[in-house]
C-alpha cells in the first residue's frame, strides 16, 4: 500500500486533508455547488427519515397511555403521559442499567486490552501459522449460540458463575474477542511500518514501540472496536437470559429485564413499558457512542506521532 | 500463565544467542516471544470459554436420543437425518438468502453512512447520532418493534403509506423481505462505524492527487477510497456475514419462522430447547458451524493475505 | 527484563480490573432456607400485585413456618419451560414448586423432574374440574395439582349481530356479511404459526367429532377426513373474508386489540379479554359485546381447548412435604381459588367456585363450557406433535400446501408416537 511510503511529517501535514478535499471542492464551481447542496440536503433528509422514523414511533408509543392508544396505528392518538416511564422505574430498572453498564464496561476494557496485544502481535510480530491462528480465533465465535448454552450452563453452575457479573462478561469477552482482534489487526497493519522502525532506531523496545507509537495511531480502530464491543455486550440477550434470568439486584441485564416485562393481566403485551424502557436505554447509549465516535473521527488528527 | 511462556521463549533465545543478554535484543526471537506473550491471554480466554462447549456438542451429536433420554451411540446417524430433512435444506436456503441480501444491502447503506459521517457539515452531530440509533436498540426489542410496524394489526406501516391491509408478514416472499429489511435497518450502522474508522486511515494526500488528476467523486470513490478501505471492508463483511448466518431473533420474533423464514439457528433452537433432542440439535449446530466456518474461511484467506502474509514476509 | 516487566504490569492491571468489578450482594441465590418454598411460576400474575402473589400471601399468613416465595419466570411459556428445564436438568433444588403448563405434564414426568401426587389424588380429583385434572395426569398417574385453567370463548358484537352463531358455517356467513356492510374485519382467532394455531385448529377438529388418541393414548384415532374438513374450512375462511386481515399472523393480543378497537365483529379468545374491553371507556365494543360458547360444525354443544397451569412438586426439592401441602392447598382452598376469579385474569380449577360466582358473566359462561372443554394430550411428545401439526397444517390453511397430504402427514406422525 502506498500509504506506507509517507513519512511521518507528510502524514501529519496532510492528514486533516481527508476532510480538506471536500472543502477544496466546495468553492470550485458555484453553480454546481448549489445543485450539490440540494442533493446533499435531500440525501440527508432521506438518511434521517430512514434512521429516525421507527425511533420516532418508539418515542411516541412510549408516551401513550392506555391500551387502545398504545395499539393504535395512529401515532398521534392520545392520551399521552409519562406513566410508562414510571412503570419502568418501578421495576428496579436502574439496577438493570447498573448491571448492564458494569458488564458491558468490563467486557470492553478486557477485550480492548488483551485484544490489542493479540492484534498487534498478529499484525506486526513474527508468529508462525498466522492464518491458522486467525481462523482459530474466528472459529470461536461461529458456533450457534443456542447450542453453547446447555454445556456452559452446567459449567457455570458448577463453578458458581450463574447470576454474577463475571458469569456474563467472561463469555462476552471470549465471544467478542475475535471481532476485536480482527478489527485491531487491520488497524495495526495499516500503520506505516517505518514509524515503528524509527522509534526502534531511537532505542525503543518493541513493547515501547507498540504502546507509544502504534497504539495511539490506531486510535480510530480502537475506539470503533470499543463502541462495537460495548454495544454488542449491552444488547446480548441469549446468554444473559440463561445465566442471569432474574433478580435485577444481582446481575439481570437490560435486554433481559425488558423482555421480562409483563402486562397487567395474562397475555397482555406491555408495549408501552417496553418502548419506554427502550428509549431510556437508547439515550445513554447514544451519548456513549457519540463520545467514542468523536474519538474515531478525531483520532489521527489529534492523536500521536509525537512519540 | 504468561510468566511461563515468556520464560520458555527466553530459553529458546538463550540457545541461539549462546549467552543470556542483559537486555533482549530487537532480533526476531525476542519479538517472537513478545508475539506469543501478546497472543496468549486472548487464546487462553477464548479456549477456556468456547472450546469445551464445541467439543461437548460434537460428542453429543454422535449419540441417539429420544427427547432428553440417551438411547446409545448413533455414529453419524444424526447427520444423515439432518441431510435427509427438507426443513434443514429450507432453513439453509433461507439463511443463505438472508445473508447475501442483508449483507449486500448493509454494505451499500453502511458505506453511504460512513461517507456522510466522515464529512464536515452543519448538523453532523445530529446526523451521526441518528445513524447510530438503530444499532443501539437491543435486537430483541427491535424485532418486536418491526413486528408491530409491519404486521397488519395494528398496521403502522400500512397506515402511513396507505397500503390498506397488505399482509407483509403473512405471505411468502414479503415475510422474507420484512425480516431482511429489519436487519438492514438495525445493522447498517455497524458496517458504517467500521468503515468510518477505516476511512480515517486513508491519508488525505491520496485525494488531493486524485483531484489534481481531475478525478470525479465516483472515480475517487472507486479508484482511491474502496481499494484503500479494502481491509476494513473485508472485516466488516466477514463479521456481518457470520452474524447473519446465525440470525435468530429477528425471524423468530417477527414471523416465528413461518412463510419460509426459518433460519438454521431457529431450527437448532427447536431441537435444543423446544422439542429437545440434544443429539440431533448438536448435529445441526455442528453442520451450521462447518458451513459458517467454511464461508468465514474465504474471508480470512483474503484478509490474511492482505494483513499478515505481505507484511511478515517483507522482512 | 524491563520489557517483559511492562507486559506483566499490563497483565496485572487487567487482572485488577477484573477483580474490581464484582457482582453486588450475591446474598439471595434462591436456595430455600429453612422451610421456605420457592414457587417458580411466570406471567403477569406472578409479578408484584398479581394474583399469584396474593395467593402466596394468603398461604404465608396461615403457614409462617413454610412461607412461599415466588421466583418470577418470563411471560412466554416456552421461556418458562426453558428456565425450569435448565434448573431441573442440573438436578438443582432452587425450585420447590413448579408452575407447569397443561401440556408439559407428560414431559416432566418422563424426565422424572416432578414428584408423583398419587397419595393425595383423592381430594384433588374430587374438587377439580375434570378437564383440568386430566391435564395434570399422565400414564394414569397424577403429577401436578390443578391451579388455574383457561378456555376459549366466542366474543361477538351485540350491535352488529343478533344471535351468537351455533355453527362455524353460520359464524362465517355472519362474519362475511358484517365485514361487507360495516367495512370492518369479520372473525379473528389465533392464526399465527405457534401453539395457539394448534389450539384453534383442534377446536375445529374436535367440534367436528375428531379425536387424536383413545383414552389411554395407546391408539391413534386421528380421522383424516374430519381433519381435512376442519383444515379446508379454515383455508376457505382465509379466502372468503370470514377471517379478518392478519389472521395468519395474529396471536392473543392482536385479536384482542382489533376487537377492542372495534375492527372485528367476532373473536375467539381467552377470558382475559372481557375485563380489558369492558374497562376501556373509549372502545366501540364496550357495552356492545357479549360472550358465548364456541360454535361447532354440528350446531350441538361446544368444545374448547383447555389452557392453564398446574402446580407440580420438583423431584429435587429439599422441602418436598411442605411443597406438596402447598400445591394441594392451592388446588383445593376455596379462598385462594376464588381469588383467581375475582382478582386475577386466570380462571380457577376448583369446581365449587363456579357455582358460587355464577352471577359473574365470565364465570357463568366458563361454568357452561368447562365441562366439555378438553386438554391437549399432555404426552411427553406433545411439543413435537404440536410442531409437526404447525409445520403441516399451517401452510395448508394458507393455501401454500395440499390439504390432503397435510392431514396424512399429521396422521402418520401421530402413529409414530404410539408404537
Q: Would you list the domain boundaries of chain B?
A: 2-49, 78-314
Q: Where are the beta strands (DSSP E) in B68-226?
A: 69-73
CB contact A202 to C (< 8 Å): no
> CA of A27, closest CA in chain B: separation in Å?
14
Q: What b-and-e string marks burial along C292-308, b requiring 16 or more CB atoms within 10 Å of the CB?
A: bbbbbbeeeebbbbbbb
pLDDT of residue C194: 94
> CA of A144, closest CA in chain B: separation in Å?
6
CATH superfamily of C37-150+307-372: Periplasmic binding protein-like II (3.40.190.10)
Mean pLDDT score across all residues of chain C: 90
Residue of A142, A205, A243 best to disrupt the B interface, most CBs of B under 10 A: A142
Tell me which residue in B68, B165, B273 faces C246 most closely, judged by beta carbons.
B165
Tell me which residue in A154, A249, A266 faces C45 most closely, judged by beta carbons.
A266
Whose cell is 450502522? That residue is: B189
Residue B66 pairs in a beta bridge with B69
From the options 3.90.950.20, 1.10.3720.10, 3.10.129.10, 3.20.20.120, give the CATH code of A2-18+84-302: 1.10.3720.10
| Contact assignment for C249 to B69 by CB distance below 8 Å | no
Peptide bond into C354 cis (omega under 30): no
Q: Where are the beta strands (DSSP E) in chain B?
A: 63-66, 69-73
pLDDT of residue A9: 41
What is the rounded distance in angstroms from the CA atom of residue C189 to the CA atom of residue B37?
Answer: 62
| Contact assignment for A186 to B127 by CB distance below 8 Å | no
- For C111-142, the pLDDT digits (tens) are 999 999 999 999 999 999 999 999 999 999 99
| Full DSSP string of C323-345 | HHHHHHHHHH-HHHHHHHHHTSS
Listed by number, the residues of chain C in 135-164 with a beta carbon closer than 8 Å to a beta carbon of chain A are: none
The dihedral sign for the CA sequence C73, C77, C82, C88: positive
Nearest CA in chain A to C88: A154
Nearest CA in chain A to C257: A71
Listed by number, the residues of chain A in 66-95 with a beta carbon closer than 8 Å to a beta carbon of chain C are: 66-68, 71-72
Q: What b-and-e string marks burial along B166-184, b requiring 16 or more CB atoms within 10 Å of the CB?
A: bbbbbbeebbbebbbbbbb
- For B278-305, the pLDDT digits (tens) are 999 999 999 999 999 999 988 888 887 7
| Contact assignment for B56 to A151 by CB distance below 8 Å | yes
Residue of B141, B183, B288 best to disrupt the A interface, most CBs of A under 10 A: B141
| Contact assignment for A249 to C72 by CB distance below 8 Å | no
| Contact assignment for C387 to B87 by CB distance below 8 Å | no
| Contact assignment for B49 to A134 by CB distance below 8 Å | no
User: Going by CATH, does the domain composed of B78-314 fall within 1.10.3720.10?
Assistant: yes
pTM tops 0.90, yes or no: no
pLDDT of residue A31: 63
pLDDT of residue C310: 96
A205 within 8 A of C4, measured Cβ to Cβ: no
Query: In B, which residues are within 8 Å of C394 by CB distance?
Result: 258
Q: What is the CA radius of gyration of chain A?
A: 24
> CA of C42, closest CA in chain B: separation in Å?
17
pLDDT of residue B85: 92
pLDDT of residue A298: 62
Output the CATH code of domain C153-303+381-416.
Answer: 3.40.190.10
CB-based contacts of A284: which residues, under 8 Å, 6+ apart? A97
The band of C160, judged by pLDDT with boundaries at 50, 70 and 90, is very high
Residue A192's Cβ-count burial label (10 Å; 0-12, 13-18, 19+) is: buried
| Contact assignment for B138 to A237 by CB distance below 8 Å | yes
pLDDT of residue C190: 95
Q: Crossing angle of helices B2-17/C2-20, nearest 10°?
A: 170
Peptide bond into A79 cis (omega under 30): yes
Identify the CA nearest to A94 among candidates A271, A256, A249, A245.
Answer: A249
| Contact assignment for C248 to B151 by CB distance below 8 Å | no
Q: Which residues of chain A have pLDDT under 50?
A: 1-28, 299-307
What is the rounded distance in angstroms from the CA atom of residue B5 to the CA atom of residue B1?
Answer: 7
Neighbouring C-beta atoms of residue B213, cutoff 10 Å: 11
> CA of C297, closest CA in chain B: separation in Å?
27
Neighbouring C-beta atoms of residue B16, cutoff 10 Å: 9
> CA of C206, closest CA in chain B: separation in Å?
25
Neighbouring C-beta atoms of residue A190, cutoff 10 Å: 23
Phi first, then psi: what are they for B308, rounded to 5°? -100, -55
pLDDT of residue B25: 46
Q: Which residues of chain B have pLDDT under 50?
A: 1-29, 310-315
The grid coordinates of residue C128 equal 377439580
What is the rounded distance in angstroms from the CA atom of residue A31 to the CA atom of residue A36?
Answer: 9
CB contact B91 to A (< 8 Å): no
Tell me which residue in A190, A237, A299 faces B231 most closely, judged by beta carbons.
A190
Residue of C15, C19, C21, C267 best to disrupt the A interface, most CBs of A under 10 A: C21
- For A28-49, the pLDDT digits (tens) are 455 667 888 888 888 888 889 9
The grid coordinates of residue B267 equal 431450527
The grid coordinates of residue C199 equal 389450539
C385 within 8 A of C217, measured Cβ to Cβ: no
Query: In C, which residues are within 8 Å of B248 by CB distance?
Result: none
Tell me which residue in C14, C21, C72 faces A114 most closely, judged by beta carbons.
C14
Identify the CA nearest to C104 among candidates C122, C82, C126.
Answer: C82
C-alpha A47, offset from chain centre = 20
Pairing outcome for strands C153-157 and B63-66? unpaired
Q: Would you list the domain boundaries of chain C?
A: 37-150+307-372, 153-303+381-416
CB contact B69 to A (< 8 Å): no
What is the rounded distance in angstroms from the CA atom of residue A126 to the CA atom of residue B28?
Answer: 7
- For C375-417, the pLDDT digits (tens) are 999 999 999 999 999 999 999 999 999 999 999 999 999 999 8
Size of interface A-B (CB pairs under 8 A): 357
pLDDT of residue C337: 95
CB contact A10 to C (< 8 Å): no
Give the residue numbers in B contacting C (CB under 8 Å), as ranges. Answer: 2-3, 6, 23-24, 30, 34, 37-38, 41, 67-69, 87, 151-155, 165, 167, 169-172, 255-259, 270, 273-276
Q: Residues A41-45: contacts with CB within 8 Å, 24+ apart?
A: A43/B116, A44/B116, A44/B123, A44/B127
The grid coordinates of residue A93 equal 430498572
- For C40-88, the pLDDT digits (tens) are 999 889 988 899 999 999 999 999 999 999 999 988 888 899 999 999 9
pLDDT of residue C61: 94
In percent, the amount of chain C with pLDDT more than 70 equals: 92
The dihedral sign for the CA sequence C356, C358, C360, C363: positive
What is the rounded distance in angstroms from the CA atom of residue A42 to the CA atom of residue B282?
Answer: 50
A161 within 8 A of B49, measured Cβ to Cβ: no
A73 within 8 A of B155, measured Cβ to Cβ: yes
| Contact assignment for B23 to C254 by CB distance below 8 Å | no
Amino acid at each position: 500500500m502506498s500509504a506506507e511510503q509517507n513519512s511521518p511529517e507528510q502524514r501529519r501535514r496532510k492528514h486533516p486533508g481527508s476532510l480538506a478535499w471536500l472543502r477544496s471542492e466546495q468553492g470550485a464551481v458555484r453553480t454546481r455547488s448549489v445543485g450539490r447542496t440540494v442533493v446533499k440536503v435531500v440525501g440527508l433528509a432521506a438518511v434521517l427519515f430512514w434512521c429516525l422514523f421507527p425511533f420516532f414511533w418508539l418515542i411516541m408509543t412510549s408516551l401513550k397511555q392506555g391500551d387502545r392508544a398504545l395499539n393504535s396505528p395512529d401515532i398521534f392518538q392520545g392520551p399521552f403521559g409519562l406513566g410508562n416511564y414510571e412503570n419502568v422505574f418501578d421495576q428496579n430498572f436502574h439496577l438493570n442499567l447498573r448491571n448492564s453498564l458494569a458488564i458491558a464496561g468490563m467486557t470492553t476494557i478486557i477485550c480492548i486490552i488483551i485484544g490489542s496485544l493479540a492484534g498487534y502481535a498478529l499484525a506486526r510480530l513474527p508468529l508462525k501459522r498466522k492464518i491458522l491462528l486467525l481462523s482459530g480465533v474466528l472459529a470461536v465465535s461461529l458456533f450457534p449460540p443456542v447450542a453453547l448454552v446447555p454445556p456452559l450452563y452446567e459449567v457455570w453452575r458448577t463453578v458458581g458463575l450463574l447470576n454474577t457479573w463475571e458469569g456474563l462478561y467472561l463469555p462476552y469477552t471470549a465471544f467478542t474477542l475475535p471481532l476485536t482482534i480482527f478489527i485491531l489487526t487491520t488497524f495495526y497493519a495499516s500503520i506505516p511500518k517505518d514509524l515503528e522502525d524509527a522509534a526502534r532506531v531511537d532505542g525503543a523496545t518493541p513493547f515501547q514501540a507498540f504502546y507509544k507509537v502504534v497504539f495511539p495511531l490506531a486510535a480510530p480502530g480502537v475506539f470503533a472496536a470499543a463502541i462495537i464491543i460495548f454495544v454488542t455486550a449491552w444488547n446480548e440477550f441469549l446468554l444473559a437470559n440463561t445465566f442471569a434470568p432474574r433478580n435485577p439486584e444481582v446481575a439481570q441485564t437490560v435486554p433481559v429485564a425488558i423482555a421480562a416485562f409483563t402486562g397487567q393481566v395474562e397475555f397482555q403485551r406491555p408495549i408501552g413499558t417496553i418502548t419506554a424502557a427502550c428509549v431510556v436505554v437508547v439515550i445513554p447509549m447514544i451519548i456513549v457512542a457519540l463520545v467514542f465516535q468523536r474519538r474515531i473521527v478525531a483520532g489521527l488528527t489529534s492523536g500521536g506521532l509525537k512519540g | 500463565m504468561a510468566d511461563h511462556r515468556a520464560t520458555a521463549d527466553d530459553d529458546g533465545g538463550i540457545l541461539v544467542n549462546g549467552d543470556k543478554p542483559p537486555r533482549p535484543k530487537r532480533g526476531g526471537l525476542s519479538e517472537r516471544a513478545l508475539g506469543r506473550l501478546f497472543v496468549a491471554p486472548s487464546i487462553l480466554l477464548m479456549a477456556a470459554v468456547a472450546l469445551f462447549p464445541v467439543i461437548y456438542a460434537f460428542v453429543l451429536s454422535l449419540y441417539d436420543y429420544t427427547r432428553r433420554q440417551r438411547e446409545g451411540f448413533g455414529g453419524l446417524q444424526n447427520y444423515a437425518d439432518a441431510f435427509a430433512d427438507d426443513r434443514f435444506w429450507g432453513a439453509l436456503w433461507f439463511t443463505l438468502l438472508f445473508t447475501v441480501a442483508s449483507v449486500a444491502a448493509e454494505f451499500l447503506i453502511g458505506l453511504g453512512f460512513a461517507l456522510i459521517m466522515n464529512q464536515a457539515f452543519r448538523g453532523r452531530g445530529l446526523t451521526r447520532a441518528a445513524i447510530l440509533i438503530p444499532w443501539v436498540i437491543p435486537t430483541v426489542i427491535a424485532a418486536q418493534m418491526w413486528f408491530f410496524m409491519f404486521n397488519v394489526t395494528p398496521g403502522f406501516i400500512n397506515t402511513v403509506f396507505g397500503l390498506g391491509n397488505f399482509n407483509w408478514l403473512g405471505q411468502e416472499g414479503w415475510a422474507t423481505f420484512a425480516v431482511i429489511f429489519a436487519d438492514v435497518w438495525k445493522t447498517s450502522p455497524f458496517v458504517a462505524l467500521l468503515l468510518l474508522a477505516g476511512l480515517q486511515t486513508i491519508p488525505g494526500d491520496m485525494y488531493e492527487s486524485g483531484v489534481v488528476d481531475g478525478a470525479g467523486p465516483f472515480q475517487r470513490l472507486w479508484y482511491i477510497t474502496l481499494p484503500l478501505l479494502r481491509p476494513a471492508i473485508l472485516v466488516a463483511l466477514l463479521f456481518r456475514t457470520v452474524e447473519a448466518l446465525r440470525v435468530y431473533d429477528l425471524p423468530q420474533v417477527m414471523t416465528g419462522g413461518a412463510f419460509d423464514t426459518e433460519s438454521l439457528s431457529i431450527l437448532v433452537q427447536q431441537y435444543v430447547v423446544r422439542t429437545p433432542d440434544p443429539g440431533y440439535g448438536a448435529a445441526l449446530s455442528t453442520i451450521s458451524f462447518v458451513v459458517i466456518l467454511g464461508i468465514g474461511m474465504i474471508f480470512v484467506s483474503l484478509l490474511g493475505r492482505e494483513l499478515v502474509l505481505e507484511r511478515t514476509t517483507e522482512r | 527484563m524491563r520489557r517483559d516487566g511492562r507486559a506483566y504490569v499490563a497483565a496485572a492491571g487487567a487482572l485488577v480490573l477484573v477483580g474490581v468489578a464484582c457482582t453486588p450482594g450475591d446474598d439471595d441465590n434462591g436456595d430455600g432456607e429453612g422451610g421456605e418454598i420457592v414457587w417458580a411460576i411466570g406471567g403477569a400474575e406472578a409479578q408484584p400485585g398479581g394474583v399469584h402473589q396474593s395467593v402466596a400471601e394468603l398461604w404465608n399468613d396461615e403457614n409462617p413456618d413454610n412461607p412461599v416465595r415466588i421466583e418470577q419466570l418470563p411471560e412466554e411459556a416456552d421461556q418458562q419451560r426453558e428456565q425450569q428445564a435448565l434448573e431441573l436438568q442440573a438436578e438443582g433444588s432452587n425450585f420447590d414448586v413448579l408452575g407447569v403448563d397443561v401440556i408439559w405434564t407428560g414431559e416432566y414426568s418422563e424426565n422424572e423432574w416432578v414428584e408423583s401426587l398419587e397419595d393425595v389424588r383423592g381430594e384433588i380429583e374430587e374438587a377439580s374440574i375434570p378437564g383440568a385434572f386430566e391435564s395434570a395426569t399422565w400414564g394414569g398417574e397424577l403429577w401436578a395439582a390443578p391451579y388455574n385453567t383457561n378456555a376459549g370463548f366466542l366474543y361477538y358484537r351485540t350491535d352488529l349481530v343478533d344471535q351468537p352463531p351455533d355453527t362455524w358455517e353460520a359464524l362465517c356467513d355472519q362474519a362475511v356479511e358484517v365485514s361487507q356492510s360495516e367495512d370492518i374485519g369479520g372473525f379473528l382467532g389465533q392464526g399465527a404459526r405457534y401453539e395457539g394455531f394448534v389450539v384453534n385448529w383442534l377446536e375445529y377438529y374436535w367440534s367436528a367429532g375428531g379425536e387424536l388418541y383413545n383414552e389411554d393414548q395407546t391408539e391413534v384415532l386421528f380421522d383424516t377426513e374430519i381433519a381435512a374438513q376442519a383444515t379446508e374450512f379454515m383455508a376457505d375462511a382465509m379466502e372468503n373474508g370470514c377471517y379478518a386481515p392478519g389472521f395468519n399472523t395474529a396471536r392473543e393480543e392482536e385479536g384482542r386489540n382489533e376487537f377492542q378497537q372495534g375492527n372485528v365483529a367476532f373473536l375467539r379468545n381467552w377470558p382475559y379479554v372481557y375485563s380489558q374491553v369492558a374497562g376501556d371507556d373509549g372502545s366501540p365494543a364496550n357495552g356492545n359485546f357479549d360472550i358465548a360458547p364456541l360454535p361447532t360444525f354440528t350446531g350441538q354443544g361446544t368444545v374448547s381447548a383447555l389452557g392453564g397451569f398446574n402446580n407440580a412438586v420438583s423431584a429435587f426439592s429439599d422441602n418436598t412435604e411442605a411443597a406438596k401441602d402447598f400445591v394441594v392447598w392451592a388446588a383445593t382452598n376455596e379462598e385462594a381459588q376464588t381469588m383467581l376469579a375475582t382478582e386475577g385474569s386466570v380462571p380457577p380449577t376448583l369446581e365449587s367456585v363456579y357455582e358460587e360466582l355464577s352471577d359473574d358473566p365470565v364465570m357463568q359462561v366458563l361454568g357452561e363450557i368447562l365441562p366439555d372443554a378438553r386438554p391437549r394430550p399432555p404426552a411427553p411428545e406433545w411439543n413435537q406433535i404440536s410442531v409437526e401439526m404447525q409445520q403441516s397444517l399451517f401452510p395448508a390453511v394458507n393455501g401454500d400446501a395440499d390439504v390432503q397430504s397435510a392431514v396424512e402427514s399429521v396422521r402418520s406422525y401421530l402413529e409414530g408416537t404410539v408404537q
